[in-house]
Structure 1
Amino acid sequence: MQYSLGPVLYFWPKATMQAFYRQAIEQPLDVVYLGETVCSKRRELKLADYMSIAHELREAGKQVCLSTMTLLEAPSELRELKRYCENGEFLLEANDMSAVQMLHEAGLPFVGGAAINCYNQHTLSLLIDQGMIRWLMPVELSGDWLASILRQPEIQQRRHLFATEVFAFGHLPLAWSARCFTARSENRHKDQCELCCIRYPKGRTVTSQDGRDVFVLNGIQTQSGERYNLVNQLPGMHSQVDMVRLSPEIDDTWVWLERFRANEQGEAPVALANNECNGYWLKLAGMMQQ
């Protein structure tokens, strides 16, 4: 089983990002995803900066994949997407169908991100035929669902053409909106947000009236309030999952990577905290923990 580090979903200062990826060089990771996937106004790191980091990671033996934006809202964002697609060196994670189309037209392979609505074998087959070589399944689907789709005849015929990746750690990206909820929470208009999300390196938590963490606001992205953690489900994944993804956090990312690797065969289970969940993988309500 391989381990990947997803793109940083939050808005961190440039120095923080660079320090984080210097640490990633030393970690037992197989794949590292780089790029801004949430908001085009977050420009602490530009494509040239990501390319520089990508070269360092590649020299350290990591596979690097550039991640594209999930919700494109302007022609300028399409032009930036085209620059990513034409980088000439690194694989791309396509997080919307415009990226899939561009990469397919260019004859380039790609990773299919979880935001692409791929819920059945017909869509999965289409994406494979368009050049997808790795697939991060939608975060709200279960292990049973994954096993079922991989058993479908048209997928079995193509199984050698793609790898399956699962989002296994971090606050789940659930939805994207044209409205910026972080700005709204500070009574700011989206166009005058002053990039206030940089003050929330873990996002901004929304609690229910009874005090439960319901959501995390991360700019235009809404995440799960509780952290998703499949560390104890790893032993049952080996027959269907090729790669597990850990989503970066400002604290303890490397500690959790070590815990995941230690429990790959079920030899070092971890007691989950009260603010962690694993319901979706187990075909339960997403906020549940079992």
Structure 2
Amino acid sequence: MTGKPRIALGPCLYFWPRAETEAFYARVADAPVDIVYLGETVCPKRREMRLSDWLALGRELAGAGKEVVLSSLTLLEARSEIGALRRLCDNGEFRVEANDVAAVQLLREMGVPFVGGAFLNIYNAATLRLYRREGMQRWLAPLECDRDTLAALLTEAGDDAPETEVFAHGRLPLAWSARCFTARYHNLPKDQCGLRCLDYPEGIPVHTREGEHLFTINGIQTQSGRVCNLLPQWRDLQRCGADVLRVSPRPQGTQALLAALDRTMRGDDDALAAVNEAEVETCNGYWHGDAGMAALRD
């Protein structure tokens, strides 16, 4: 691989008010990021932004020179969500990130190329080739995929391998459930949650009895407590086949992080230092073939 990896900003995993969301992406338009993913991937009740709003944001970002991708829900639970998914896949303007096999099926039927999300569970070259034949042009490797496994998989896939993206920074989205943990935290029924996720712009921390930040509750999604940070190993990610590095949006510091990553990949080895020092709870264990919450040095 020649050159440096491209930088992607993943879909926002949290529920922010509409005005804050629009202000966030207005700043992203001026950030050194190549690809921007938009849309709701966690809960269909989060309707501050409709498809038409995401499309409008996408047009603005595309006008600023960004590649725009619309991300689909990861867990579908109702027939109405299939209808919304169909409209997303048939948007006619932007590529779609398929986070569920239902999205893959719809996009294949429409003959539309797509990005494969990490939760399609692609763990071997045969599966990678299958999705490539279905129209997948880029894929996000599973979050627990270690560097040796990724390198071996891409070597086996050879020329059949699509463009490869790696989740490089942010709280790891680990699991989804039909139960809403944020609603349960407030002793509320899921269908009468009052959209309490709006009160937690970066989720609810869950600590062990010893005080360790183990998980983060984000509606029906469970995230890691620690922030995954593979950015200092960006050269290692590139050597193992990463064409794109994904940064997951957070309420504070995302634009500064993107700028520091861009400067680092342009040769400023100190650019990420201050950003990394400000992050007290980080992990990179999965990439090194260890426990996910481990923080290891090369």
Report TM bin, short chain.
over 0.9
* Matched residue, 1:42: 46
* TM-score scaled by length of structure 2: 0.94
The runs of at least 4 consecutive aligned structure 1 residues that moved more than 4 Å come to none
Distance 1:171 1:119 in 2: 21
- Correspondence list, 1:1-290, <5 A: 1-152=5-156, 155-159=157-161, 162-239=162-239, 240-264=241-265, 267-268=269-270, 270=273, 271=276, 273-290=279-296
Q: Which amino acid aligns with 1:279?
A: G
Q: CA RMSD in A?
A: 1.2
Task: Write the deviation string for residues 170-199 of structure 1: whole angstroms up to 9, x where unpaired.
Answer: 000000000000111111110110110110
Whether the aligned pair in 2 keeps the contact of 1:5 and 1:245 (CA below 8 Å) is yes
Distance 2:28 2:260 in 1: 16
Unmatched 5+ stretches in structure 1: none
Distance 1:63 1:235 in 2: 23
Cα pair distance change 1:266/1:285, threshold 3 Å: farther
Please identify which structure carries the higher helix content: 2
Distance 1:145 1:254 in 2: 31
Whether the aligned pair in 2 keeps the contact of 1:7 and 1:34 (CA below 8 Å) is yes
How far does residue 238 in structure 1 lie from its aligned partner after superposition? 2.1
How far does residue 151 in structure 1 lie from its aligned partner after superposition? 1.1
Q: Which amino acid aligns with 2:223?
A: Q
What's the secondary structure of 1:72's corresponding residue? coil
* TM-score scaled by length of structure 1: 0.96
Distance 1:47 1:125 in 2: 31
What is the total number of aligned residue pairs between the two structures? 286
Whether the aligned pair in 2 keeps the contact of 1:168 and 1:229 (CA below 8 Å) is yes
Whether the aligned pair in 2 keeps the contact of 1:226 and 1:277 (CA below 8 Å) is yes
Task: Write the deviation string for residues 8-52 of structure 1: whole angstroms up to 9, x where unpaired.
Answer: 100000000000010011011110000000000000000000010
Distance 1:256 1:144 in 2: 27
Q: Which amino acid aligns with 2:130?
A: L
Q: Which amino acid aligns with 2:258?
A: L
Unmatched 5+ stretches in structure 2: none
Whether the aligned pair in 2 keeps the contact of 1:234 and 1:263 (CA below 8 Å) is no
The share of aligned pairs that are identical, in percent, is: 49
How far does residue 266 in structure 1 lie from its aligned partner after superposition? 7.9
What's the secondary structure of 1:172's corresponding residue? strand
